[in-house]
Amino acid sequence: MPDAIPQRKVHIKTWGCQMNVYDSVRMADVLAPLGFSVSETLDDADMVILNTCHIREKATEKVFSDLGRLRALNEQRRAGGRDELIVAVAGCVAQAEGEALVERAPVVDMVFGPQTYHQLPEMVVRVLERRGERVLNTDFPVVSKFDHLPEESAGQGVTAFLSVQEGCDKFCTFCVVPYTRGAEFSRPVAQVLAEARRLVAGGAREITLLGQNVNAYHGEGPDGRVEGLGTLIRRLAGIDGLLRIRYTTSHPKDMDEDLIAAHGEVPQLMPSLHLPVQSGSNRILQAMNRKHDRDAYRRIVERLRRARPDLALSSDFIVGFPGESDRDFADTLGLVAEVTYAQAYSFKYSPRPGTPAAAETDQVPEPVKAERLQSLQQLLNAQQLAFNRACVGRTLDVLVDRAGRRPGQWSGRTPYLQAAHFSAPDDMAGDRHGRLIDVQIVEAHANSVAAVPAGEPDGRPDTAGATARAERHPV
Ligand code: 5AD
Ligand code: SF4
């Protein structure tokens, strides 16, 4: 009889974008055949993976402070006669700072980048067999990891992520992604469809297609010809049981006619779109190497709204890019006022090692960045609240992905990605999880809306469950 595989636990901590969230789920899939199950806590874990983000300095600093805590924890374990945790650093900090991590943080056993986690079993076995040996694996393999990942071992639930494209060839001058994630790559259509079908069979009702430049998707189709994201979305819309499709994150330059048309034609494609512009100043857009100007962006937005008039737009903004003047910043505020956003993320420019903008001499002082961030966020928050308020009185469908704290309370997202909370007191026994429920929006908050089931006008809005949106950046 073969030896039973020892049962072990892995705790995975994820920072940054949805791509990292997806990668963490897939790392768990890769480790499952080795007897690893996921633990929500460190206490009973045998291994910890920090899946890291390098996009801004703050995100990177957090990794090093976590490593300090893990060193102390391992000392405690050693003193108490327990096995030490295997410590792995994955993701974009691992890719960018691999050697420095191995040198500066002796607690780390394993460092691997976003393109090599399909090799986790070999790495883990090496570390387990020879404790003390350290593994550094930050290659960009020629063969895609997607050809080697096992099938997903568990469903992701009602709302699932599916990575279809990775990497970036745009080289915006502030951004580390082209260096940490590598060149643009699209998964073949058949591979994406097969994964989507499995996700739906596992209970997914909404799939968000992920990519650093997801609308640059150009996967090989069944007949060998390359297909764009619009075509992929139309194919996905043919999957029975898949009620909603979203995609993130997009570059304005790759917003082609077919994809824009899909917004008007595919009912499953939700009317919300994250289309980062970063700045409203032509001078800064050029210095950022964004490959589009302010007018080109406005025209794309116009075309999108012609295809789908109720489209809820979202964006990323950077304030205090090197050389940004008061006038440039005023142009950003002007563009925001003109376009109007349902939601947005904004950041102070953070110089990243190795990127061209970090070497510029005309860096903007920190207090100026802080002041600009505050006024931009004030405007964006007001627009978000106005968008939520404009929904009051409307009937929208909510895909229920969570039960509330009390029986009969439910939460989910509207088509516009607003968090919505409602109570269904007449139907306490009915399980609404995973269902699309028509609700009437009755109250607007900054980060959510309260609703009552449509046709149940006496139901009371559920404001107790209102929570802030998760603070994740959206690449
Ligand atoms: N500084 C500040 N923000 C950045 N972003 C990317 N790089 C930087 C940086 N160096 C922001 C961009 C991007 C989002 C994911 O993070 O707005 O769209
Ligand atoms: Fe690529 Fe987006 Fe980074 Fe620009 S901001 S380099 S498009 S990942």
| pLDDT grade for 139, boundaries at 50, 70 and 90 | confident
Q: What's the CATH code of the domain at 179?
A: 3.80.30.20
| pLDDT grade for 237, boundaries at 50, 70 and 90 | very high
Residue-level pLDDT at 3:
66
Ligand 2: does its nearest atom lie under 6 Å from the Cβ of 285?
no
Residues 175, 46, single domain; the answer is no
**Portion of the chain with pLDDT greater than 70, in percent:** 93
Phi, psi (rounded to 5 degrees) for 192: -65, -45
Closest CA to 354 of 143, 42, 96: 96
Residues 88, 233, single domain; the answer is no
Ligand 2: does its nearest atom lie under 6 Å from the Cβ of 445?
no
Residues 426, 361, single domain; the answer is no
Residue-level pLDDT at 472:
35
Residue-level pLDDT at 223:
94
| pLDDT grade for 159, boundaries at 50, 70 and 90 | very high
Q: Which ligand 2 atom minimizes the distance to the CA of 176?
A: 3
Q: What's the CATH code of the domain at 57?
A: 3.40.50.12160
Residues 343, 252, single domain; the answer is yes
Residues 153, 99, single domain; the answer is no
Q: Higher model confidence: residue 302 or residue 428?
A: 302
Q: What's the CATH code of the domain at 447?
A: 2.40.50.140
Would residue 387 count as lying in a domain? Answer: no
Ligand 1: does its nearest atom lie under 6 Å from the Cβ of 473?
yes
Q: Higher model confidence: residue 317 or residue 157?
A: 317
Query: How many angstroms separate the CA atoms of 297 and 275, rounded?
Result: 9
- Please name which ligand lies nearest the alpha carbon of 251: 2
Query: What is the extent of the structural domain holding 431?
Result: 395-472
**Centre of ligand 1 from the C-alpha of residue 279, in Å:** 11
Would residue 364 count as lying in a domain? Answer: yes
Ligand 1: does its nearest atom lie under 6 Å from the Cβ of 349?
yes
Ligand 1: does its nearest atom lie under 6 Å from the Cβ of 217?
no
Residues 243, 331, single domain; the answer is yes
Residue-level pLDDT at 62:
87
Residue-level pLDDT at 154:
65
Strand-strand pairing, 8-14 and 165-166: unpaired
Q: Higher model confidence: residue 152 or residue 417?
A: 417
Structurally, the chain folds into a number of domains equal to: 3
Which range is least confidently modeled, 110-124, 368-382, 416-430? 416-430
**Centre of ligand 1 from the C-alpha of residue 96, in Å:** 16
Q: What is the pLDDT of residues 312-329, one digit of tens each?
A: 999 999 999 999 999 999
- Please name which ligand lies nearest the alpha carbon of 290: 2
**334: three-class secondary structure by DSSP:** helix
Residue-level pLDDT at 409:
87
Residue-level pLDDT at 473:
38
Give me the residue label for tokens 């895609």: 144
Query: How many angstroms separate the CA atoms of 10 and 121, rounded?
Result: 13
Q: Closest residue (by CA) to atom 6 of ligand 1?
A: 175
Q: What is the pLDDT of residues 382-408, one digit of tens each?
A: 999 999 999 999 999 999 998 887 788
Whether 475 has a pLDDT exceeding 70, the answer reads no
Residue-level pLDDT at 456:
53
Whether 175 has a pLDDT exceeding 70, the answer reads yes
Q: Which of 346, 376, 406 is the last residue of a domain?
A: 376
Query: How many angstroms separate the CA atoms of 170 and 475, rounded?
Result: 14
Ligand 2: does its nearest atom lie under 6 Å from the Cβ of 452?
no
Give me the residue label for tokens 């405690």: 76
Query: Quick one: which H or E segment has residue 337?
Result: helix 326-339
Residues 243, 261, single domain; the answer is yes
Mean residue pLDDT of the chain comes to 91
Which range is least confidently modeled, 148-162, 263-277, 286-300? 148-162
Residue-level pLDDT at 282:
98
Would residue 190 count as lying in a domain? Answer: yes
Would residue 163 count as lying in a domain? Answer: yes
Would residue 224 count as lying in a domain? Answer: yes
Closest CA to 412 of 433, 431, 426: 433
Query: How many angstroms separate the CA atoms of 355 and 367, rounded?
Result: 23
Pocket test for ligand 2, best of 17, 54, 170 (most atoms within 8 A of CB): 170
Query: How many angstroms separate the CA atoms of 309 and 110, rounded?
Result: 49
Ligand 1: does its nearest atom lie under 6 Å from the Cβ of 170?
no
Residues 173, 24, single domain; the answer is no
Residue-level pLDDT at 243:
97
For 395, other C-beta atoms within 10 Å of its C-beta total 13
Residues 150, 118, single domain; the answer is no
Q: Which of 116, 137, 158 is the last residue of a domain?
A: 137
Residues 25, 105, single domain; the answer is yes
**203: three-class secondary structure by DSSP:** coil
Residues 175, 115, single domain; the answer is no
Residues 216, 198, single domain; the answer is yes
Q: Closest residue (by CA) to atom 18 of ligand 1?
A: 316
**Portion of the chain with pLDDT greater than 90, in percent:** 80
Would residue 390 count as lying in a domain? Answer: no
Q: Which of 74, 108, 137 is the last residue of a domain?
A: 137
| pLDDT grade for 2, boundaries at 50, 70 and 90 | low
- Please name which ligand lies nearest the alpha carbon of 56: 1
**Centre of ligand 1 from the C-alpha of residue 276, in Å:** 10
Pocket test for ligand 1, best of 56, 273, 324, 348 (most atoms within 8 A of CB): 56
| pLDDT grade for 333, boundaries at 50, 70 and 90 | very high
Residue-level pLDDT at 430:
65
Would residue 316 count as lying in a domain? Answer: yes
Q: What is the pLDDT of residues 418-448, one digit of tens each?
A: 999 998 865 555 677 888 999 999 999 999 9
Residue-level pLDDT at 153:
65
**Cβ-based burial of 321 (10 A; exposed 0-12, middle 13-18, buried ≥19):** buried
Q: Which residues of 125-139 are buried (b: 16+ CB within 10 A; e: fewer)?
A: eebbeeeeeebbbbe
Average pLDDT over every residue of 177-196: 95
Would residue 310 count as lying in a domain? Answer: yes
